[in-house]
Structure 1
Amino acid sequence: MVRDDLYITVPSFFLCPISLDVMKSPVSLCTGVTYDRSSIQRWLDNGNNTCPATMQVLYTKDFVPNRNLQSLIQIWSDSVQKRVDSPESKAVTESELVPSRDQVLSAIADVEGDCGNNRVDSLVKIVRFALDSDEKRDFLAKVDGFVARLVGLLHNVDGGVELLEMVLKALDLVLEKIDDREWFKNSMLKKQSDGENRCNCLDSLLLVLQRGSSGSKIASVRVLKSIAMDAESKLLIAEKEGLVSELLNLIAPEKTPALIENCLSCLIAISTPKRNKVELVHLGAIRTFSKLLLESNLTVSIVEKVLKLLETMSSRKEGRVEICEDPECVAAILNKVMKVSSIATENAVTTLWSVCYLFRDQKAQEAVTKANGLTKILLLMQSNCSPSVRQMSSDLLKIFRVNSKSCLSCYDTKTTHIMPF
């Protein structure tokens, strides 16, 4: 029992938003918010279909264990219990929960010297320190050799997934503070000294993507995106066997929106080289994107990024073929032409313009007609769209002018008055 004179300050992110108690088994919903398993399970069992904190409708009621947070809570709980049990126990203040600068410098030194669980414990202290403020993250990034030590740990997959997860979490927290991005990129992509044609850091990133928690997967993707700085680095990333296909696997409706969005951002970053675009097509990216667009309750940002990738794929013959061979894909793109955002509209119209007007694919034209596309394009032209979207829409209408009589029979007479021909 805690004595009356023992005051304990609990970090706010350890508390369940529902019960306001320290979480025993933290799990994350598809909205990215973490709750104690028992509390959120009761909420869902009572027939609720929203996230209690955001009131956002849940497209899936599945949740994912937040192992990193559980590890932090356990370490904190153990430290508090030791103080409670000690005869000399005293008040635990918030400053004691967050390591001091001297303590974190000692933890950084221990990361290089220790092994196994000791390293993980040291990394947990570092992460706890970095989470406290932007100023402390800036301090960490400027510690001589700190980032290099983290990169060094990523060059060794033998440390285990738990260690790699904490390394990536720490690295992600200071990512924006790294001044020499060129050095960081080169260090991450450096090949093994034994001459094998592979990069151990990419091996570690892939391992976490395959076996890590949702939070550590996001950290891995963010780190991966940060090193996709030029054509050479993007090609090296795409050449890593299994890496791009794993990113595509993580773009699934049952995954958390934050994970999906970060994976899409990473794919956009690495998809600029022609070779990578073709590789994405061969790995089934078009089908993955098409399936995702058919889902309801997607965030605007996710829709924009999916459409951007489809636009990118449509610039290659292989991509256009896949898009045109899939009527559901064309219909899904057409369905996002309006009522999402101006960015989504431009990406969607550009893709349709590419396959239907620029390259005159008959299957794509038929799919647009079947999906009532002409009406949507006409309505789009009546809206406050950008000049480029208006021009592409006008070009698309020219494609259907020849078959206007057959097209008109498909549409309600209330919309035919806006036909420009």
Structure 2
Amino acid sequence: MELTIPTHFRCPISLDLMKDPVTLSTGITYDRESIEKWIDAGNITCPVTNQVLRNFDQIPNHSIRKMIQDWCVENKSCGVERIPTPRIPITPYEVTDIRSRIVAAARVGDAGKCQELVGKIKDLAKESERNRRCIVGNGIGSALADSFESFARFSVDAHVNLLKEILAAFTWTR
């Protein structure tokens, strides 16, 4: 017997089971990854209604996600794996805060704090493409470059691990 995914659990763009359902201003729910690709491609209309999007806010649809997760659990015997609860994407405010704290740590020569914050940025960037775009779009590259310059000026030998960490983070921001 073939398992049929309920229509309202499928993304209208990809037709796949939604893993991170988000609702747009038009009231239509999509999988976050699919609608982000749609918007990143320059589209400004809702793919289903063709209405011009008043904004590009994507509101997590926790109700649909929970129903999808329950459906996955109910159909585990058919080979369906439960979708994980998605992590909340980073916000521009959070990036700006971390960027400011990196700059402040570099200014006072606090290598430990700077390394901790650079590690946090790297971890957040690994979570999703959306996080990477938000991090890059909110000026983290210049903060990393300034921090590198500050600590390299003091002593490369004393800060070699931090400098490597900054360079590793800097490579994907370009």
Higher relative contact order (CA 8 A, sep 6+): 2
Structure of greater Rg? 1
More helix by share: 1
Question: Above 0.5 in TM-score?
Answer: no
TM-score by length of 2: 0.44
